[in-house]
Structure 1
């Protein structure tokens, strides 16, 4: 990165959280800092770009405002995003760039695009690069990722059954909100004037549990100091990618102390497998006090594959977790053990690396009940001796060869929403 590289801020948030209001406030209050803006909207007409142009001095005519419409920059418009960033930064006429993503965008793939550029294996060189020979990211760097959260609608969004359509990709509202919270440097808790102090404190505790690394800033009507969002130097891709609360709990398992508003976490570990029928039934009646749960598990009858579970609000998804090392041919197994000392240290003589590890985050959770319910899903001593193939398995199946070909996002893309009882 060159010394005068242009800092880029990515502004995320679900529909109606107040991203455009925040952006317009930042534009008005930036004083001597000259900002360029890239606005992404799912519609053919970019309504957000029109609102930015109407509410500020910025304009398309001066080439400070770029619209990316009819698609999302976290998936189908990633090449267009690089094109636009390259064109904007090829002749420096501004001090910083703010990218407002669409309300259905996940910030992690946007950050990957703005960090890795063409190093993403599935992304072809853009028109800008082919015409100019200039790497789109040569003159800029991702500086800050910001997520705007609607305090007034936070609990409703987490509990909502609403499914959003991202150009044919279905996204659960609560799941999307959690993903936006878990990958950011700054959390703007907006519309605080519509919520009482006790509720705000409870929401903040939940946000801190989901993303311990982010700075939380309360705002009303999107009014925030531009210095909190622009040219902060806060972004580090690896820190952002591994700083979600559930990841930290899995890496350093511990049971959190009871907070004032009861936001706590439970880590559950086991060597034996879940009974597929009992665990499916448990997921069908998952406690409503749980805000977030994630991890991997082993079910009886599937000795080769690990599965993942991903709970965010009312969304419960099960996905592929890969092949257990214990299921590999002896030569490959030995190679994996030699390459991973931690794996070898935790290896069990009977089951190898097969295990269950889940983290559960929630409000006013009954830890003993959750732990007891999960333990009751494990096979009993007698069941360990039974024929596991006789158990009903309602969990989805996955094509691992196809998932490997699809690359890093295969796990998330392949996950299936459950209602397993349906």
Structure 2
């Protein structure tokens, strides 16, 4: 078992926060619960909370709370809906709060159902109140840990199977694919555990480790031999790490807040390539539309944001995975807003925009990351650069750009307020 670098030997961390800490465990495969059991073995005083939703279509959800080898609670809950996200708000969060009040000296480990992304739980804890008290006043989210199974990872990342077709959707309007869930669980994590070995041997397992590093370079990475789990060491790697950063609002907003969206590693490492494309001038809408299929042909994941000459006020989100590209609105570029609206903008985003402000473009820019196996980073850059406005087109100015034929017309609506990402429904032709 190997891991990313740990704190220096002899370093002392003084924790003055007396709130119970919460570790959120997610993952699409059963290995997640195996990691949970190891954590419970190493720290028997922790409370392990799990909601079994396999019978939610029958109106039943089973909640269990374990402490060491003992079952503290085992309750079957009747529900009148089939919405897992409502269960987060109606039972998962209240259960965490109740346990934090009843057992303030016990920390919490929450094991999420397979199809739930950790960001949904963090959002529920951030915005929900219980008896008028914000949940984050009572519980400290220590880390979000995602467990990925080496044997199934590549299949999961490539799967365009919809959860609804598989009968495991989280809600009636849940149109996510398996790849959507796996990728978002990986990208939101601050700690990633690669469980087991690939069926194709050591080199392929090493390749998966590199791929995970490229998908989530901001996370701590742990490799775990499923046949030899050192529970105490795993506990030190995953618990009480203070890795969760509440100020970062999801992967699509990372770039706008000035954080890294990925690493530029154009030379293959075990066949894995990660290429970052950045530019100031806008894309021509038709030329970009014409290359959408080509630029993602060899890609496992691409993500980021961009701006189109024909829609110069809109930050356009870009998210590709599992065979499908989604584009949507991330709201306004700050340069398009009157100054009195800036006070309503996230402080980190305002700071990032100010640091990188251009006299002509303002905060507008392209920031895209492409990750794949055998990806030609040079050709990719050449293709995208060819979609940018030429010097002559740039000289025509915004009034002319807005008249360009735009295959994306109507895909990226702008509200009067800055919005959260809305990539689900904007599928370009």
Is TM more than 0.5 here? Answer: yes
Corresponding position of 2:375: 365
CA distance in 2, matches of 1:222, 1:46: 37
Shift of 1:373: 0.6
Pair 1:58-2:57 in alignment: no
Query: Aligned equivalents of 2:343 and 2:100: distance in 1?
Result: 49
Q: Distance in 1 between matches of 2:253 and 2:268?
A: 17
Superimposed CA distance per residue, residues 240-263 of structure 1 (whole angstroms, 9 cap, x where no aligned partner): 948969958974697336353133
Matched residues in 2 for 1:64 and 1:36: separation? 13
Which structure 2 residues correspond to residues 248-397 of structure 1 after superposition, within 5 A?
A: 251=259, 255-256=264-265, 258-329=267-338, 343=353, 346-384=356-394, 385=396, 388-394=402-408, 396-397=410-411
Please tell me whether the aligned partners of residues 36 and 65 of structure 1 are also in contact (alpha carbons under 8 angstroms): no
- Structure 1 segments unaligned to the other structure (5+ residues): none
Higher mean Cα deviation, 249-258 or 159-168? 249-258
CA shift for structure 1 position 4? 5.5
Deviation at 1:278, TM superposition (A): 1.9
User: CA–CA distance in 1 between the matches of 2:271 and 2:301?
Assistant: 14
Shift in Å, 1:91? 2.5
Further displaced range: 362-371 or 77-86: 77-86
Contact 1:40 1:68 in 2 (8 A): no
Deviation, structure 1 residue 49:
8.7
Say yes or no: does 1:203 pair with 2:202. no
Aligned to 2:22: 8
Cα displacement string for residues 117-147 of structure 1 (whole angstroms, at most 9, x for unaligned residues): xxx1xx3x44xx37xxx77666643233221
Q: Which residue of 2 aligns with 1:172?
A: 177
1:18-39: CA deviation from partner (whole Å, max 9, x where unpaired): 2233334544x34x72342221
Q: Do structure 1's residue 89 and structure 2's residue 93 form an aligned pair?
A: no
SS at 1:377 equivalent: coil
- Secondary structure of 1:353's partner? coil
- Alpha-carbon deviation of 1:273? 1.8
Mapped contact 1:38–1:66 kept (Cα < 8 A): no
What's the counterpart of residue 78 of structure 1? 89
Using the alignment, how far apart are the partners of 1:314 and 1:235 within structure 2? 35
Deviation at 1:154, TM superposition (A): 1.1
Aligned partners of 2:280 and 2:417: how far apart in 1?
Answer: 26
CA offset digits 1:298-353 (Å, max 9, x no partner): 212212222111123423211112223333357768999xx957645644444433
Query: CA contact under 8 A between 1:174 and 1:315: conserved in structure 2?
Result: no
CA positional deviation for 1:99: 1.0
1:233 pairs with one of 220, 233, 240: 240
Instruction: Map Cα deviations across residues 387-408 of structure 1 (whole Å, 9 max, x no partner).
Output: 652413235524432774xx6x
1:109, 1:273 → 2: CA distance?
33
2:116 paired with 1:105 = yes
Distance 2:75 2:228 in 1: 20
CA shift in 2, pair 1:284/1:95, >3 Å: same
State the aligned residue count: 396
Residue 220 in structure 1 maps to residue 226 in structure 2: yes
- Greater Cα offset, 180-189 or 144-153: 180-189
Does the aligned pair in 2 maintain the 1:293–1:309 contact within 8 Å? Answer: yes
Specify the SS of the correspondent of 1:397.
coil
Paired residue secondary structure (1:291): strand
Other-structure match for 1:33? 44
1:166 is displaced (CA, Å) by 2.0
| TM score, norm. by length of structure 1 | 0.77
Q: CA deviation at 1:155?
A: 1.1
Distance 1:329 1:402 in 2: 12
Mapped partners of 1:46, 1:192: distance in 2: 34
CA contact (8 A) 2:310 2:406 kept: no
